[in-house]
């Protein structure tokens, strides 16, 4: 499987979604449909580590890169999901350059970071994989993404984008709109201005710009701004909207 990071390095645009279901069925379906990646959401769902590891396995089987949105920037959650074999992490609420460096330290092996070293993990094929190959693959295939989702983070986005070891600078428009005093107004000029500023900072520092969208119009605007890591909605919303559409059509035909 070609990882989502390898696709981005190859200058491709990738499309993924958040996954909140604890069943591997969702991961498999998204993979079979052709999504480039899914993000297991351990910040805004009830997913635990045991479930996440099984969902990563399901993603591997279905040929889809599995990223994990960890609950914060602390070392332990980042290390655990990387060792479980995820193809990257996404850290929320990164407001400063210091927080970004903390994420990198937990995610990358030396000399870039300070990630703890163990070869008895799933990521290292339980000691079976060559140690040097494991460390090389970790750098080449594991994605490190930081979320910009506050006024403070936008003000620091150029410094954050300059941190070595980060791959994707990701705008979280929901929380950002709240921080900017326009809660829920994802199309507000203040949010869109932040998007442009983030894309410029990413480009100037050799990083990829990413964001979340909820509809086709927002996706097109993001692409026009320079986004290449696009997260479209989530699997719970896909299920709910699909079921609602079927039910409404049937009710209206009675």
Rounded to whole angstroms, the Cα distance separating 211 from 112 reads 25
Q: Which helix (H) or strand (E) holds 247?
A: helix 235-253
Confirm if 142 and 107 have CB atoms less than 8 A apart: yes
Confirm if 84 and 121 have CB atoms less than 8 A apart: yes
For residue 106, the tally of other CB atoms under 10 A from its CB is: 23
95 SS3 class = coil
Q: What DSSP designation does 252 have?
A: H
Rounded to whole angstroms, the Cα distance separating 145 from 171 reads 10
50 is catalytic: no
Q: Which residues pair with 209 in a beta bridge?
A: 169
Query: What are the structure tokens assigned to 25, written together?
Result: 């069925």
**From 44, 50, 134, 216, active-site residue:** 44
The sign of the CA dihedral 228, 157, 216, 70 is: positive
Query: What are the structure tokens assigned to 135, written together?
Result: 């460390």
Confirm if 103 and 73 have CB atoms less than 8 A apart: yes
* CB-side neighbour CA atoms (13 Å) of 37: 32
Alpha-helix runs per DSSP H in the chain: 4-9, 24-33, 49-62, 75-83, 97-107, 131-141, 151-155, 157-161, 173-179, 189-204, 216-225, 235-253
Which residues are the active-site residues?
Answer: 44
């Amino acid at each position: 499987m070609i990882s989502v990071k390898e696709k981005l390095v190859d200058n491709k645009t990738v499309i993924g979604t958040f996954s909140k279901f604890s069943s591997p069925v969702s991961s498999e379906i998204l993979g079979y449909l052709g999504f480039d990646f899914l993000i297991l959401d351990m910040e805004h769902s009830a997913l635990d580590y045991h479930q996440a590891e099984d969902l990563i396995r399901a993603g591997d089987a279905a040929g889809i890169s599995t990223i994990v949105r960890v609950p914060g920037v602390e070392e332990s959650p980042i290390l655990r999901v990387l060792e479980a074999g995820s193809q990257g992490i996404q850290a929320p609420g990164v407001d400063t350059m210091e927080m970004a460096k903390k994420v990198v330290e937990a995610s990358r092996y030396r000399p870039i970071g300070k990630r703890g070293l163990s070869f008895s993990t799933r990521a290292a094929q339980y000691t079976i994989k060559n140690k040097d190959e494991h460390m090389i693959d970790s750098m080449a295939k594991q994605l490190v993404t930081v979320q910009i989702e506050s006024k403070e983070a936008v003000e620091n986005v150029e410094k954050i984008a300059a941190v070595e070891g980060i791959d994707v600078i990701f705008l979280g428009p929901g929380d950002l709109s709240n921080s900017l005093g326009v809660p829920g107004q994802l199309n507000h000029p203040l949010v869109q201005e932040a998007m442009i500023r983030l894309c410029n900072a990413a480009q100037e520092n050799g990083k990829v710009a990413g964001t979340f969208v909820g509809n086709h119009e927002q996706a097109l605007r993001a692409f026009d701004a320079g986004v290449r890591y696009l997260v479209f909605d989530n699997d719970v919303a896909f299920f709910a909207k699909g079921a609602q559409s079927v039910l409404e059509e049937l009710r209206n035909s009675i």
